[in-house]
Structure 1
Amino acid sequence: MNIADIATKDYAQVDADERLGKVRSVFEQDNPKGIVVTNDGDYEGIITERQLLQSHVEDDAKANVLTRSNVPQVNREDGVREVARMLVEGDTKVAPVFEHGDLWGVITDNAILNAVLDNLDVLTVDQIHTEEVVTLREDDTLGKAINHLRENAISRLPVVNDNGKLTGIITTHDIADFAVRKMDRQRTGDRRGDTERMLDLPVYDAMNSPVQTISAEASVRDAVERMFENDFGGLVVTPDDNDEFVAGILTKTDVLRALTYTEEESMDVQITNIGLLDGISREAVRESITEVADKYKDMQVHHAHVRFTEHKERMRGTPLIYCQIRLRTNRGQIAGSGEGYGSKTAFRVAVDKLERNVLELKGIRADEEYKGQLLRKLNEL
């Protein structure tokens, strides 16, 4: 199946000189995945809703201030698997589609997932969901929620009570909606003071409850259909026998990533925000992760995902980069993360942490085997 079969020419578009206030209104009225930005009719880039929600740019600024020019550009004849990889590695839910060098339309994550929906019965949620989950307590502040969302480059956070039971979920969209409602009710006074007071409010005031969940044993098709029905970008994954506790998160991006898995002999490594990769090649990334994985011979890596996130802080012009490496293996998921100035440094720190975690897992496994042997010997007495 080619992207030509599922891409659309129906998309939102604004000029690069348009006010961001108008861009916000387009998102509110039409709810697009992203808005195409043009300059005198020529393609300039994309503005995504997440960019707009996470920015502090005033409404009077021009659209080109937030325009992403590094969004991957898709050809109408590209295959679904390759485009799914491009969306994941470009960290975007929408991409422009070109034909003979001219902008033809756009492709979204929803369009791809809808096209392959019938084939998702072969996967279970447990096979592809993310196990490592950042959670919040009900009395944590909105400011803390925003920091977690930015630092971890995620869009949703499960909320738990003092007993660790799932009571709600908060997303970037929830926070933006809550802020707009608060500002509408507080049209007078010091806006900076209002904002600071809002950031001190507990997440309980803005979270969604009850939470839509999916069990780990459910099919990925069931999960995606539920996301479509409720217009969700992800679902909280719960243990098969208990929907009160958090076992992980499944997002549309996780499903797209699964579409790109290959059966190659060499490890499949996927890099999100590949444009930040500087001073190190994809092959060097693959070799470093393979070297770490080989230190635990009983562990087979099915898939490796490396994510780079750029922070505003810089040193001599080099940005501070956060790197997270996640391995999906026959021993479960293993991760390592770290930050440094430049992607090469950040990756090395993350690899070191990953190696420590792999060796720790190896030690735990060895301890379990030793305990098992000891128990067997005791039972023979």
Structure 2
Amino acid sequence: MNIVDIAVPEYVEVDVSERLAKVRSIFERENPKGIIVTEDGEYAGVVGEKQLMRSRMEDDTKVSAVMKSAPSVDRHEDLRETARLLVEGDVKIAPVYEGEKLYGIVTVDQILEAVLDSLDAITVGQIATEDVIGINEKDTVGSAINRLRENGISRLPALDEDGHLVGVVTTNDIVEFVVRDQERQGSGDRAGDIDRMLDIPVYDIMSSPVVTATADETAEAVVERMFDNNVSGLVVTPKGADTIAGMVTKTDVLRALTFTEQDSMDVQITNVALLDTTSREHIVESIEQVASKYADMHVIHAHVRLHAHKEKLRGTPLIQCQIRLRTNEGQVGGSGEGYGAEHAFHVALDKLERNVLEIKGVNADEEYRGQLLRKLGEL
């Protein structure tokens, strides 16, 4: 299946010189999945809500300061390859070309709508992220912004003092809050207003009640729920409980579309453009070497996520790397930071191997206890 019937010629377009004030108002008014940025009529990049959260930029900043490069897609591209390009580019929208001409756009939602009927074979438990970053409902909006930016994520479950799930705060919540406040207060010196907004507690802007999912539900059911509630992710909770068991997003579902049944390990790298002195081949080989040490642990899929911080050392950015393996024995991951993608990857890889060893040790202990109990029962 290709995207010839999915891509659409309708999209929102702005020039690189456009001010962020207008871009923010477009998101508020039209709620697009992304905006195509052009320069002299030619494609230059895309901008989404996550780009608006990167820094506290003033309204008169040009959109070129926050736009992101997105992979271009041929109108006849395979759907699975298109899904991979969106995931690895960490974007929700990509320009679609017909020959050398910009035809339109393709979005995550368009792809998921096209394959919705086939998602009943995938469960939430197979694709959800178990290691979830949250925030206390009494923490400030400024803290939420920092946590979102530092971890390269778009949503935070909000918890009360007892660890119960009470809400979710997203980049969209924060953007809408800032836009509404600016429209209400008008123009002028914004420094004091920004400080005041950053000190507001999360519970004043979070979404509540929380739209949730359970691990045994199908991807089809949860994607329909996301569409119905106009959200991009759901908190996974145990049945009948208000604690957090994981998070499932549209990107997680999109990533599942790229899984293959071939002999080689399926590895995805989000923000692949950050690779500097290393290569995709080296990353795949390194993960396969770790997996091959534990023959009875079958790795179904590996996901490597790279995220660049502003801090640099002699021009090399501080990179956060997260590795997550989906195996026949559950999820296992490792994370680490380093200057440059190669350094960060190997720090995370070392942590991953230690965590794999810990899982194997626990399983070995359980097997030993089982054998011991069986022997005792024979006495």
Asked if structure 1 preserves the Cα contact closer than 8 Å seen for 2:336 and 2:351, the reply is yes
* 1:153–1:278 distance in 2 versus 1, CA, 3 Å: same
- 1:374 matches 2:372: yes
Match of 1:254 in 2: 252
* 1:18–1:192 distance in 2 versus 1, CA, 3 Å: closer
Match of 1:353 in 2: 351
> SS where residue 4 of structure 2 aligns?
helix
Segment of structure 1 superposing worse, 369-378 or 286-295: 369-378
Segment of structure 1 superposing worse, 123-132 or 263-272: 123-132
- 1:118 matches 2:117: yes
- 1:213 matches 2:212: yes
- How many Å separate the matches in 1 of 2:372 and 2:288? 33
> SS where residue 116 of structure 1 aligns?
helix
Deviations 1:250-308 (A, max 9, x none): 10000100000001101100000111111111111111111112232221000000011
Match of 1:4 in 2: 4
- 1:323 matches 2:321: yes
> SS where residue 286 of structure 2 aligns?
helix
Match of 1:332 in 2: 330
**Mapping of 1:160-309 within 5 angstroms?**
160-183=159-182, 191-239=190-238, 241-309=239-307
Q: Quick one: which amino acid aligns to residue 256 of structure 2? A: A
- 1:344 matches 2:342: yes
- How many Å separate the matches in 2 of 1:29 and 1:80? 30
> SS where residue 261 of structure 2 aligns?
coil
- How many Å separate the matches in 1 of 2:155 and 2:80? 26
Match of 2:47 in 1: 47
Match of 2:155 in 1: 156
Match of 1:14 in 2: 14
What is the CA distance between 1:189 and its match in structure 2?
A: 9.4
- How many Å separate the matches in 2 of 1:26 and 1:141? 26
Deviations 1:43-70 (A, max 9, x none): 11111222123332222222222222x3
Asked if structure 1 preserves the Cα contact closer than 8 Å seen for 2:49 and 2:175, the reply is no
> SS where residue 360 of structure 1 aligns?
helix
- How many Å separate the matches in 2 of 1:190 and 1:100? 48
- How many Å separate the matches in 1 of 2:201 and 2:252? 29
Q: Which runs of 5+ in 1 are unaligned?
A: none
Asked if structure 2 preserves the Cα contact closer than 8 Å seen for 1:16 and 1:38, the reply is yes
- How many Å separate the matches in 1 of 2:118 and 2:144? 36
Asked if structure 2 preserves the Cα contact closer than 8 Å seen for 1:234 and 1:251, the reply is yes
Asked if structure 2 preserves the Cα contact closer than 8 Å seen for 1:295 and 1:359, the reply is no
* 1:106–1:189 distance in 2 versus 1, CA, 3 Å: closer
- How many Å separate the matches in 1 of 2:370 and 2:140? 45
* 1:378–1:163 distance in 2 versus 1, CA, 3 Å: farther
Match of 1:56 in 2: 56
Match of 1:142 in 2: 141
* 1:182–1:42 distance in 2 versus 1, CA, 3 Å: closer
Match of 1:133 in 2: 132
Match of 2:25 in 1: 25
Q: Quick one: which amino acid aligns to residue 303 of structure 1? A: H
Asked if structure 2 preserves the Cα contact closer than 8 Å seen for 1:87 and 1:95, the reply is yes
Asked if structure 2 preserves the Cα contact closer than 8 Å seen for 1:215 and 1:243, the reply is no
- 1:38 matches 2:42: no
* 1:31–1:212 distance in 2 versus 1, CA, 3 Å: same
* 1:59–1:227 distance in 2 versus 1, CA, 3 Å: same
What is the CA distance between 1:84 and its match in structure 2?
A: 0.3
Asked if structure 2 preserves the Cα contact closer than 8 Å seen for 1:273 and 1:307, the reply is yes
> SS where residue 176 of structure 1 aligns?
helix
Asked if structure 1 preserves the Cα contact closer than 8 Å seen for 2:321 and 2:337, the reply is yes
- How many Å separate the matches in 1 of 2:207 and 2:348? 33
What is the CA distance between 1:186 and its match in structure 2?
A: 5.4
TM-score by length of 1: 0.95
Deviations 1:66-125 (A, max 9, x none): 222x31000011010000000000000000001111111000000000000111111111
- How many Å separate the matches in 1 of 2:291 and 2:373? 30
**Mapping of 1:70-149 within 5 angstroms?**
70-149=69-148
Query: Among the aligned pairs, what percent are the same residue?
Result: 60
- How many Å separate the matches in 1 of 2:180 and 2:92? 26
